[in-house]
Amino acid sequence: MKRIYFKRLFFAFLFATILPICLCVAAISYGSFHMSRERYQDKVGAMAAASSGNMRELLEEYEKILNSLSEEPALAAYLAGNDREGLGELVRPLQTGRDNRLRIRVIDPDDRYIYPDSRDAKLYDPAVFGGWGILHEMTANPDRIAVTPSVTRAENGRKICMNIGRAVRGRDGTIAGYVVLDVYRNTLLNAVKQLEDEKSSVTLADRNDCIILDTTGRFTEGATGAPGRAEKNSVAASRENAYGLRIYAYYNIEEFNENSRLMIFISLLVLVCMAPLAFLLAAVFANRMYRPIDTLVSSMNLVTRGNLDTKIEIRAHDSDEMRLVSSVFNWMIARIQTLIENAREESERKKNAELKALQAQISPHFLYNMLNEINALARMGRTGEVSGFVIHLGKLLRRSITFKDDFVKLSDDLVFVEDYIRLQQIRYDQLFDVDIQVEEEIRDCLIPNLIIQPLVENAIIHGFTAGKEGYMLSLRGYRREEDVCIEIYDNGIGVDKEYLKYINNVEKGVGLYGGLGVENVQKRLLLIYGMRYGIKMESEKGRYTKVVILLPYRREQVDKT
């Protein structure tokens, strides 16, 4: 609760003090940003216009060259007569002084003859370029100036980035040839470089967005691109001329963006510096009003973590409402402690009663089985053995009466088991052999009273069948780290899988088979030691059964709760 009220108070104070400053700073930054950006936009627009003007002047100059040649009557005659000397007399005056800027070529489309050098005929082979490029444009529009991109190189190794040409008509009006100006890349580059600085760049493209010249490094010359889009830290503008060429000018405004970010950083720094003062005032005000509530919430959190010794100190300067709440809270915690203690005592009584009930089942069950054994001896006519059987039985009953403690030494319980085995050997006329091996180290450890005998009884009665020989009952005891293991093994008839599964999970079911011995021992061990200890049974039908009792190694009386 305190956190909610504290946040509300803090943000209200923060907005009241800092929000006006934020709005002013934001308005100034926004206005300054847009004014500066518009200034850069105007600058790049002017640069695009100037570049477009330079290109227009350059193209007008080239147009004059093309018009003067294509409209010269002698040119068609020289082309018809394959007169290279005559072509040279017409072209050389125009080429003079322009060798570093362009190359003038005269093309005869019939025999692919090119002036001045036929070795470059493959650059304008109609079989290759007839469907596109400069030849296609001049053929399609013979009376117009054609301008196309180029990615070829001249015989002098210079890169040609643009072709500008016009068809030459003969006297009959048909196309007699072509005049083409190969414009070197450095020619266009020098035209735009006059306007560039280190932060500006230019892209020249045709109407199909095929790149003719690029100084941005973003596009490939001769390939199609999308030059109209500016990058993150630049502004762009474009101009188109009468030849269908478009000039795109870009200006890098990264420095401007850095200045804008610096202004934003300074504004945020001021706000951050003011925040601690606002936070301090809000914290002082909140603590004065909500300290009692914070104390109550903290105490409640301690209670939820199990600390029931928590109490709220009632101070004289607390309000009446808070003193009442604190008193009720302290009374509630005291009441909860009382109820928990009562529930614990009731659970202990119930557990002890259940354990006593399980222990009480053992004596009647044991006595009932022994009386059945005496009856069996008598019916078999072995009356001479009944007397000895009764004497041993009396010893067992006297010993069971003597052991009143819930826990006995393992050695004492083994004596009881050995007497019981003698009784069964009398009953079954030495039907089975016995092997008992227990480590001396564990003979003094304490175990629950009468947990071995019911398992031995179960092995003899349910594991051995009269009339057969070779039965063995083995009892082993040993220590494993901090635990004691007692194994009872017989090579009898084994048990069913269903019963085996039930015994190993007896805590999940009650009375499924109606027996008392094994199930009784398992339940007693689970009540005393918990789920980690108890018995585990394994068996294979017709071969063997082994029961393992796992107990903690203790030499002092344990607390059953």
Q: Are residues 362 and 290 in the same domain?
A: no
d(CA 536, CA 446): 20
* Token pair recorded at residue 334: 């005291």
Range from 144-158, 232-246, 407-421, 526-540 carrying the lowest mean pLDDT: 232-246
Model pLDDT, residue 362: 46
Q: Return the SS3 of 197.
A: coil
Range from 35-39, 208-212, 444-448, 486-490 carrying the lowest mean pLDDT: 35-39
Contact (Cβ atoms closer than 8 angstroms) between residue 547 and residue 499: no
Q: Are residues 58 and 176 in the same domain?
A: yes
Q: What's the per-residue H, E or C state across 12-30? A: HHHHHHHHHHHHHHHHHHH
Mean pLDDT calculated for residue range 36-50: 75
C-alpha distance from residue 30 to each of 26, 93, 267, 443 (Å): 6, 60, 13, 91
The CATH number of residue 441's host domain is 3.30.565.10
Residue type, 451: I
Q: Tell me the pLDDT tens digit for each residue of 332-345.
A: 887 887 777 776 76
Q: Are residues 351 and 276 in the same domain?
A: no
Residues 6+ apart with CB under 8 A from 23: none
Q: Tell me the pLDDT tens digit for each residue of 151-199.
A: 888 777 888 888 899 999 888 888 888 899 999 988 888 877 655 566 7
Binning pLDDT at 50, 70 and 90, where does residue 360 land? very low
Which helix (H) or strand (E) segment holds residue 100: the answer is: none
User: Which of 252, 268, 294 delimits the end of a domain?
Assistant: 294
Looking at residue 158, what DSSP letter applies? P
Binning pLDDT at 50, 70 and 90, where does residue 454 land? confident
Q: What is the DSSP string of 205-250?
A: E-TT-BEEEESSSSS-TTSB--TT---TTEEEEEEE-TTS-EEEEE
383 has a pLDDT exceeding 70: no
Model pLDDT, residue 282: 66
Where do the H-state alpha helices sit in 464-496? Answer: none
484 has a pLDDT exceeding 90: yes
Binning pLDDT at 50, 70 and 90, where does residue 33 land? low
Question: Within the chain, how many helices (H) and strands (E) appear?
Answer: 13, 16
Q: What is the DSSP string of 317-363?
A: TS-HHHHHHHHHHHHHHHHHHHHHHHHHHHHHHHHHHHHHHHHHHHH
Q: Are residues 282 and 397 in the same domain?
A: no
In a domain, 331, yes or no: no
Q: Tell me the pLDDT tens digit for each residue of 126-154.
A: 555 555 678 888 888 888 888 888 888 87
478 has a pLDDT exceeding 90: yes
More confident residue, 220 or 253: 220
Q: Are residues 35 and 168 in the same domain?
A: yes
**What percent of the chain is modeled with pLDDT above 90?**
11
In a domain, 374, yes or no: yes
Q: Are residues 176 and 284 in the same domain?
A: yes
Model pLDDT, residue 545: 93
Q: Are residues 258 and 354 in the same domain?
A: no
Residue whose token pair is 């006329």: 429
In a domain, 330, yes or no: no
In a domain, 63, yes or no: yes
Q: Are residues 289 and 400 in the same domain?
A: no
In a domain, 406, yes or no: yes
Q: Are residues 269 and 413 in the same domain?
A: no
Model pLDDT, residue 263: 72
Q: How many CB atoms lie within 10 A of CB 76?
A: 20
User: Which of 294, 327, 357 delimits the end of a domain?
Assistant: 294
Q: Tell me the pLDDT tens digit for each residue of 56-115.
A: 888 888 889 988 888 888 888 888 777 888 888 888 888 888 888 888 888 887 656 677
Beta bridge partners of 484: 479, 551
Q: Tell me the pLDDT tens digit for each residue of 270-299.
A: 767 777 776 676 666 666 666 777 677 777
**Mean of all residue pLDDT scores within the chain:** 77
d(CA 443, CA 413): 10
Model pLDDT, residue 124: 63
In a domain, 333, yes or no: no
Q: Are residues 275 and 420 in the same domain?
A: no
* Token pair recorded at residue 62: 């080239």
Model pLDDT, residue 35: 74
Residue type, 5: Y
d(CA 113, CA 177): 10
User: Which of 230, 262, 294 delimits the end of a domain?
Assistant: 294
Where do the H-state alpha helices sit in 96-179? Answer: 126-129, 133-140
Q: Are residues 473 and 391 in the same domain?
A: yes
The closest of 283, 260, 268 to 18, measured between CA atoms, is 268
228 has a pLDDT exceeding 80: no
Q: How many domains does the chain have?
A: 2
Binning pLDDT at 50, 70 and 90, where does residue 551 land? very high
Q: Are residues 364 and 290 in the same domain?
A: no
Q: Of the ranges 253-257, 379-383, 434-438, which is most confident?
A: 434-438
Range from 307-311, 339-343, 362-366 carrying the lowest mean pLDDT: 362-366
560 has a pLDDT exceeding 70: no
The CATH number of residue 250's host domain is 3.30.450.20
Model pLDDT, residue 117: 66
* Token pair recorded at residue 270: 């001021």
Model pLDDT, residue 128: 52
Domain residues for 167? 1-294
Q: How many whole angstroms from its chain centre is CA 289?
A: 43
C-alpha distance from residue 302 to each of 51, 67, 298, 305, 308 (Å): 77, 99, 6, 5, 8
Model pLDDT, residue 113: 61
d(CA 184, CA 392): 126
d(CA 311, CA 170): 115
Q: Return the SS3 of 111.
A: coil
The closest of 250, 204, 257 to 43, measured between CA atoms, is 250
Residue ranges of E strands in 369-452: 407-409, 432-438, 446-448
Contact (Cβ atoms closer than 8 angstroms) between residue 249 and residue 44: yes
In a domain, 323, yes or no: no
d(CA 118, CA 105): 10
Mean pLDDT calculated for residue range 371-394: 71
pTM: predicted TM-score of the whole model, two decimal places: 0.44
Mean pLDDT calculated for residue range 484-499: 90
Q: What is the CA radius of gyration of the chain?
A: 55
Model pLDDT, residue 193: 66
Model pLDDT, residue 358: 46
In a domain, 304, yes or no: no
